[in-house]
Structure 1
Amino acid sequence: MEMAGTRRFPVWLLAVWSLTRVALLLYVLRVLVFPGPDVTTDVSVIYHGWYDTLRTGTFPRHDVTWQYPPAAALAILSPALLPFLDYTRAFFVLALLADLVVVCLLSYAGTRPGRTPRGAWLWTAGVALLGPTVYARYDVMVTAVAVAALLAGAGRPRVMGALTAVGALLKVWPALLLVGAASRRAWVSAAATAGALALLFGLTAPGAFSFLTAQRDRGTEVESMGSLVFHIARHFGWQGQVLLNYGSVEFLGPYVDWVSAAALALSVIAFGWLLLWRLRVRRLPPHALADAAFVAVLLFTVTSRVISPQYLVWVVGLAAVCLSRRGSRMTLPAVLVLAACLATVLEFPVYFGDVVASDRLGVTLLLARNGLLLLAALTAARTLWRTTVSVPPPAVPPQTPRTQETLAPS
């Protein structure tokens, strides 16, 4: 079946996406049991509790696990759109629809001139590898907004800016999509949209910005890059604890504040590198917008005090947008991210007990996942610099036979 001349309907993509997503739904609905702890309790317990509070017109500002910008309330309240389902099932269905939106956007983009369907395939594979956690968090909804913003890109900068602002008010990180934006219209649109929405939330809902101070007392999450210090230190007598703190399992105890401060310092260094890149950039080809966003989110992921499994959803989405352009050089980092997805589902939820216990298996899986992410970040940053900052070598004109004859030794 052909569409628009040479365009073909992605039958195999749709088939693979459908089969893998049916499996994910069966897992989150507990028809099939996925190994490890139940990943759906965030929706059935935490999100549902927030839902009951948000319906009253106020934010759960006294709940230390609420650490999200005000537009996150829209995602938490969204199951009300499906009143014929209970809260948990409605949320899973909406997560599935957000996933479908992403694959449709990437698939359509792949049919346009200068594009490729590789992005849609990467998204399909990456989400499948991450397992049921994807549908048990609202990050897939945020990623759908971010993917739409990047695909709007330079062609529709005002649309991109508005979508970026919405995404940032859902979960902050989409603000990094503007790193590679060359058009002032994108920045102005983002600022205007964010300002208007922030004012609306601030005036109508008490506690809308309580998230700004909610994370200052957090420890180091057990899956983060810095946590490896304590996983190893526990085998040498480190006297700390692993506790559920601020909604995640964290290390608490001696020197944790030092490692957390180091992570913050590395994030500042990453921001400084991005600023230097922006000041030194010589050319911004069409693929640079998505490439820069991919690099920025990777850098801030690997330097964060927290690397939750759902963070990989963001990175896979941005990698997929990169691969949807033929000119992108991010294939290797994208493949590394895909491998990190497999390592992620193994460390959480399958062997999360081993990670929490700092067992050899758990530490090995964590080293593999974090190592792959770090390698992807460094490789992607180097590629971005080389394709946008470094001066390409001058082209050497081909020698004519007469020139070759002249240069030949006598």
Structure 2
Amino acid sequence: MAQAPTPVTQWGIPQAGPFRWTRPATWPREALALAGYWTASRMVMVGMLRSGKAEQAIEVHRTYYGWYEVLSTGTFPVDDVTWQYPPGAALAMLAPGLLPFLTYLQAFAVLMLVTDAVTQAALIRVSLRRNGGYHRGRSTAGAWMWALALPLLLGLPYGRYDLPVTALAMAALLLLPSRPRIGGVVAGIGAMVKVWPALALLGAPRGRGTRQAWTAMGVSALVLLAVLAVLFDNTFGFLTAQQGRGVEIESLGGTVLQVARLFGWPGEVEQHYGSLEFLGPHVHRIAKASLLLTAAAFGWLLLWRWRARRWSPATPYDAALTAVLLFTVTSRVISPQYLIWLIGLAAVCLTVRGSSQRPVAVLILLAVAVTTVDYPLFFDAMISGGWRPTVVILVRNGLLLTASLWSAGRLWRASVSTVPVLREARQPRRGPIRAA
């Protein structure tokens, strides 16, 4: 009697049992490939930071550890103009103290590495069934986006606290469909750490679940703020900290001034409010224009939400990426670590096959690569000025501007326009696939 063929997964390996995280032998081949690449690339990233010579390591040593010492006394930095963050950022600065057997830099890097690993595992988990196949309509492209794009920033992700902030926003989005209240709580915590994760819930579909998520986000943010106000002095100083900000050299407005310098504009670059900013004629006008563009972007997002009629599983993710792209591009400051936000949100979008943002993610990947050319390779030259650094920042910001406009257009056509930008995503092929 002929023996029935052994069932295989969509990756062509025998279906010996359920997919278990604790048993690598049951992992599908793509999960193994992701784990292998993640391990190798993250060892390189940790090595860059551990050398202690990178600017990111110096920043952790000097700035973050200085804030840690002040926060440990029960007060927020009062006279430090570089502290411009919501009070929840204190949690990120104090967290390395939970590992007293390590130096502050070592503990900070370990926590960033763990955050990265948990985020990578979550992206794999939402894409694969327990038996090693696909969730219906899901894709591992998001997991690959996170694995591949983050190392392009070299050691930067482990030398800034934007990684856990991004992880909170990603978690809020991934929890939103099944656990809206918990997703709202996570988004509220993220908003108290660095404001922008509040945008993660902007594209949630109308209904009871969205009301629950938004309410949970507001309540959790207020509760955390109240707790920090009790534990620390000068908790609300962040409300006025951004008033003196100017035009940072890597921002969209800064790019205009970089070009103007080539044609004789007499402004200078100086350390101002924690970043390198342009000082000189017309800078104030460009800063005002940036604020007006941010207000216009917010108005467009409100119009989109009012006009949106079609929601797919990808719409909340796509709307979050569009919103953060628009606010990033119109900001008076575009620091290299802001690209971590875009990598994370693009990765969440790519977990859904029907996302309208798949080509936008490619532009973001290119912008990340050019950002590394900008910082650290051309950063000193950008301070001094010249055509080479100007071309680099023009390309990077041109990619970000194109990505933001394309993202908004595709989101609008997918959810508002009478002719959707995408057809319904094809369902994944059923049945076993023979091993090659």
- The TM-score bracket by the shorter chain reads over 0.9
Equivalent position SS for 2:56: coil
In the TM superposition, what are the counterparts of 1:200-279 in structure 2 within 5 Å?
200-279=227-306
Equivalent position SS for 1:39: helix
Are 2:105 and 1:88 equivalent residues in the alignment? Answer: yes
Contact kept in structure 2, 1:142 and 1:170, CA below 8 Å: yes
Mapped partners of 1:208, 1:286: distance in 2: 38
Task: Identify the residue that residue 56 of structure 1 maps to in structure 2.
Answer: 73
Are 2:51 and 1:24 equivalent residues in the alignment? Answer: no
Select 1:368's aligned residue among 373, 395, 400.
395
Give the TM-score, by structure 1 length. 0.92
Q: 1:234: Cα distance to partner?
A: 1.5
Task: Identify the residue that residue 78 of structure 1 maps to in structure 2.
Answer: 95
* Cα deviation 1:180-220 (Å, max 9, x = unaligned): 12311111111111111112222331111211111111110
Structure 1: gaps of 5 or more residues: 394-410
Equivalent position SS for 1:154: coil
Are 2:28 and 1:8 equivalent residues in the alignment? Answer: yes
Q: Sequence identity, in percent?
A: 47
Contact kept in structure 1, 2:262 and 2:386, CA below 8 Å: no
Equivalent position SS for 1:243: strand
* Cα deviation 1:97-155 (Å, max 9, x = unaligned): 11111111101111133211110100111101111111110000111111111110221
Contact kept in structure 2, 1:232 and 1:358, CA below 8 Å: no
Give the TM-score, by structure 2 length. 0.87
Mapped partners of 1:74, 1:292: distance in 2: 28
Equivalent position SS for 1:321: helix
Equivalent position SS for 2:397: helix
Mapped partners of 1:348, 1:208: distance in 2: 32
Equivalent position SS for 2:81: coil
Task: Identify the residue that residue 408 of structure 1 maps to in structure 2.
Answer: none
Letter in 2 for 1:141: P
Select 1:139's aligned residue among 162, 176, 196.
162
Equivalent position SS for 1:250: strand
Would you say how many aligned residue pairs link Structure 1 and Structure 2?
389
Q: 1:7: Cα distance to partner?
A: 6.7
Letter in 2 for 1:8: P
Are 2:368 and 1:341 equivalent residues in the alignment? Answer: yes
Select 1:166's aligned residue among 158, 172, 189.
189
Q: 1:277: Cα distance to partner?
A: 0.1
Equivalent position SS for 1:209: helix
Task: Identify the residue that residue 401 of structure 1 maps to in structure 2.
Answer: none
Mapped partners of 2:180, 2:392: distance in 1: 41
Mapped partners of 2:104, 2:376: distance in 1: 23
Contact kept in structure 2, 1:120 and 1:320, CA below 8 Å: yes
Mapped partners of 1:308, 1:55: distance in 2: 27
Equivalent position SS for 1:242: strand
Contact kept in structure 2, 1:39 and 1:349, CA below 8 Å: no
Contact kept in structure 2, 1:95 and 1:141, CA below 8 Å: yes
